Amino acid sequence: MKLSELKKVIELMEMSLSEDISDKARASKAVERLKKAEATFRDKMYKFDDVLQGKVSKDKTNKELSKELKKQYRANVTQFMRDALGLKKKVK
């Protein structure tokens, strides 16, 4: 490999390692879209939870399913959103 080719490879590597200022803006927009999607999902989950709790009908037999639904939501979706927001902060 010639010295000029080596310099070109090094330049390309440096370019790929440098962050663009627009990366942070794109990450912020993506997180905002993610927040909106999560809010819609949360609203639908709570409507489903109302059905399980018997608020829509008078059937009260699904209280345990309602508790499990909320527990799983908190454990998975909420943790995912926390992780996503933490990653956004790390974008340079």
pLDDT tens readout for residues 36-77: 898 999 999 999 988 888 876 666 678 888 889 999 988 888
pTM over 0.75: no
Closest by Cα among 80, 70, 88 to 38: 80
| Burial category of 47 from C-beta neighbours within 10 Å (exposed 0-12, middle 13-18, buried 19 and up) | exposed
Q: Are 31 and 84 in contact (CB under 8 A)?
A: yes
Q: Given this model, what pLDDT does residue 46 score?
A: 92
pLDDT exceeds 80 at position 9: no
Domains of the chain, by residue range, sit at: 21-90
CA pair distance 57, 29, nearest whole angstrom = 40
Average pLDDT of the chain to the nearest whole number: 79
Give me the percent of the chain exceeding a pLDDT of 90. 11
